[in-house]
Amino acid sequence: MRLQGKVALVFGAGSIGSGVGNGRAMAMLFAREGASVIAVDRDLASAQETRNRIAAEGGVCEAERADVTVSADVLRVVEACIHRFGRIDVLVNNVGIAELGGPVELSEEKWDLVFDVNVKSMFLACKHVLPQMERQGSGSIINISSLASVRWAGVPYVSYGASKSAVNGFSRYVAMQYASKKIRVNTILPGLMNTPMIVEPLAKFYGDVDAMVAQRDAMCPTGKMGDAWDVAHAALYLACDDSRYVTGMELLVDGGLSQQVVTPARP
Ligand SMILES: NC(=O)c1ccc[n+]([C@@H]2O[C@H](COP(=O)([O-])OP(=O)(O)OC[C@H]3O[C@@H](n4cnc5c(N)ncnc54)[C@H](O)[C@@H]3O)[C@@H](O)[C@H]2O)c1
């Protein structure tokens, strides 16, 4: 029960498809560890599915709808969390989208959308949550980036890679500004993870889902992709007091993929 008595606000706590993505896994694991969770998603039904799973395990969770690119939405949810639970100990910024394409193929609209969803969302969440954490004199913020922020992802993901690099820089700056206020900010860089998020955009690129899974498994030094629970366990460490002296860090959860000199070519 490492989060007993804590309140966690998780943006992107639903999941694309019916499985368990990173956001849903973090919300569920935090609740299992004693946290009261606010599960926020643009897709309310998906946030409610997360809430139902947590309630079925005896945990505490409320579901809220918000678009993370809309400041008023984010503020409303933050205020609802404070009204309901009185504090915010953990903020998770998990929402992220990917659009295939390099500078030539990608439209300006898609470029702006990816940056709004992946980066501005974190700016807005921090803008509205930091004053509460400052009043409390504590807090842990966890931003979900990607190995693609520091490495070529194997597919032309220029807006995704660039936006995730911005997440790393954003996190570092907020971490340093707030370190003396006992508010920690850390970033998780997942590698190749087998979550519902990758299926739709990447299956077409690789041919079909089975081919994609086989290819991505083969790229990993362990022979297998990670999954959402691997990200959730890393997030639990950063959320709880075990990591009280850890801030401004980029935690790779990639099964050693970033150490590999040569990535096997895709077909
Ligand atoms: N799966 C991987 O291989 C992998 C690898 C590296 C990083 N990541 C990162 O993990 C994060 C997502 O993981 P996941 O498995 O939870 O993905 P997911 O897509 O299943 O869940 C994210 C949730 O965000 C919601 N969402 C999308 N746009 C939104 C918006 N504008 N406002 C509010 N909610 C919105 C979706 O409805 C969805 O429920 C992303 O930041 C992604 O970049 C994933």
- pTM (2 decimals)? 0.96
Q: Count how many Cα atoms sit within 13 Å of the Cα of residue 39 in the half-sphere of its side chain.
A: 32
Q: How much is the average pLDDT of 202-211?
A: 80
Residues spanned by the domain of 84:
7-195+227-252
The alpha carbon of residue 44 and the mean position of all alpha carbons in its chain are separated, in whole angstroms, by: 17
Domain-located, residue 184: yes
Question: Distance (Å, rounded) from C-alpha 132 to C-alpha 86?
Answer: 10
Q: Place 266 in a pLDDT band, splitting at 50, 70 and 90.
A: low
Taking the C-alpha atoms of residue 94 and residue 82, their distance in angstroms, rounded to an integer, is: 20
Contact between 2 and 240 (Cβ < 8 Å)? yes
Residues of the chain by 3-state class (helix, strand, coil), percent to 5 = 50, 15, 35
- Whether residue 107 is contained in a domain is answered as yes
Is residue 262 very low, low, confident or very high in pLDDT (cuts 50, 70, 90)? low
Mean pLDDT of the chain: 95
Do you know the residue count of the chain? 267
| pLDDT band at 172; cut points 50, 70, 90 | very high
For residue 202, pLDDT beyond 80 = no
If you measure from the C-alpha of residue 97 to the centroid of ligand 1, how many angstroms do you get, rounded to a whole number?
A: 6
**Domains in the chain, number:** 1
Helices 158-178 + 108-115 axis angle, to 10: 30
Residue 82 belongs to domain with CATH number: 3.40.50.720
Q: Report CA(95)–ligand 1 centroid distance (Å).
A: 4
| Section 41-66 average pLDDT | 98
pLDDT (0 to 100) of residue 125: 99
Assigned domain for 60 exists: yes
Confidence of residue 265 (pLDDT cuts 50, 70, 90): low
In a domain, 73, yes or no: yes
Shortest-distance Cα residue to atom 21 of ligand 1: 15
